[in-house]
Amino acid sequence: MSRICEITGKKVITGNNVSHSNIKTKRRFHPNLQTKRFFIPETGEWVTLRVSANGLRTINKNGISVALKDAAAKGFYKA
């Protein structure tokens, strides 16, 4: 399973570790993903999502139904 948030689309990015002597080696920055279950009151069913901490804030702000609809429109979530 890939490390991509199903609400915001956040994914792994790459960068450098930089030592004190300024030697650079490649590294990866992973999103803060959590596996959470959400209840959708309109349909009366539960859905399990891998969401980032930022995605949880989006769901808390807008609601699960609106967040899923927006994510599906952007192609991050497939129902």
> What DSSP assignment string belongs to 24-77?
EEEEEE---EEEEEEEETTTTEEEEEEEEHHHHHHHHHH-HHHHHHHHHHHTS-
Domain at 66, CATH number: 2.30.170.40
Is 53 inside any structural domain?
Answer: yes
Is 3 inside any structural domain?
Answer: no
Is 24 inside any structural domain?
Answer: yes
Q: pLDDT tens-digit profile of 24-79?
A: 999 999 999 999 999 999 999 999 999 999 999 999 999 999 999 999 999 999 87
Number of domains, the chain: 1
Distance, CA of 70 to chain centre? 13
Is 79 inside any structural domain?
Answer: no
pTM of the full structure: 0.87
Question: 11 is written with which tokens?
Answer: 């994914």
